Amino acid sequence: MSDREFFVGRYEKLDWKYRPVKLRQAVRFNCFNIGGQDLVSRLCGLGLNLEKIGFLSSGYWVCDSKVSAGATAEYLLGLYSIQEAAAQIPVSLFSNVKGKRVLDVSAAPGGKTVQLADAMGNTGGIVALDISKQRLTALVNHLERCRVRNTVVYQLDARNSPKLGLKFDRILVDVPCSGNFASDPMWFQNRTLEDVTRNARVQREILMKASECLSDDGEIVYSTCSLEPEENELNMDWALHHLDLQIAEINCPGAQGLTSVFGKELDPSIARCRRFWPDTTQGFFVCKLVRRRS
């Protein structure tokens, strides 16, 4: 059995039928930099036509374009970022981030870090971590382009985040993951279940260490762009049993998290997670965690 058949077979066991998808390009406005101007009209004047994404506050589909969205003066001025639609969801799930102290554990290339800074209006402070210096270079270029002012960046393995000796009100655990076939045409050829299992283990370690940095009334948003339950629902089930966390309700589109995975019954609260099977967006999984209330 090829890897493709193996993974497609798994998806069918999870009640989703595989079909090739064509992703739509999306952008996110950096409202802090835009001020009051009408950026939709301005970009339309360049031949970049946008349509509002209903479930996002500042996300737009690129309908058609005579210019590359990544090569306009407006992009270079940091007025908008190119960011996949589903990838814009995790940051939007935090409540009230203005003035807060926020940790972004696997930050590069920085799309979500910039989104956080924008949502915070450059108030409070963000600590952004990534293990790779090369990826950090991309991150800091992104921060400079988008005029981010409230972020401190460290080259640090996310599993060492407690070493900073800081507590955070909000923590974004957008973990390194196996990805999905919608955003990587060679995904089925390059991925094995062993990769998935290994990534899931690292993700648990990152989540465990991040949770040590969470303040008592803090919030964690956990996300992956993987479709594999080991990296998603099964990791959340593990977190409920091993960490002092519970899953919060979220107001978000997408399918409910799976509570039965390959014959294993999971905690019913995992239905509060959201799973995005590939369609106009890539595959995605998101969950909001808070400290367990006694």
Residues that bind another protein (CB under 8 A): 37, 70-71, 73, 76-77, 101, 123-125, 127, 133-134, 136-141, 143-145, 147, 149-155, 164-166
Is 266:9 a contact under the CB 8 Å cutoff?
no
Q: Cis check for the bond before 278: say yes or no (omega within 30 of 0).
A: no
Minimum distance between the CB of residue 78 and another protein, rounded to whole angstroms? 9
- 193-212 and 233-242 helices cross at what angle (nearest 10)? 40
Minimum distance between the CB of residue 106 and another protein, rounded to whole angstroms? 14
Indicate the burial class of 82 (C-beta count within 10 angstroms; 0-12, 13-18, 19 or more).
Answer: middle
Minimum distance between the CB of residue 3 and another protein, rounded to whole angstroms? 21
List residues with catalytic annotation. 225
**125 vs 257 by CB, closer to another protein:** 125
**Rounded distance between C-alpha atoms, residue 7 and residue 258, angstroms:** 17
Minimum distance between the CB of residue 280 and another protein, rounded to whole angstroms? 26
Query: What are residue 274's DSSP bridge partners?
Result: 256, 286
Residue written as token pair 């939709």: 40
**8 vs 140 by CB, closer to another protein:** 140
Minimum distance between the CB of residue 158 and another protein, rounded to whole angstroms? 14
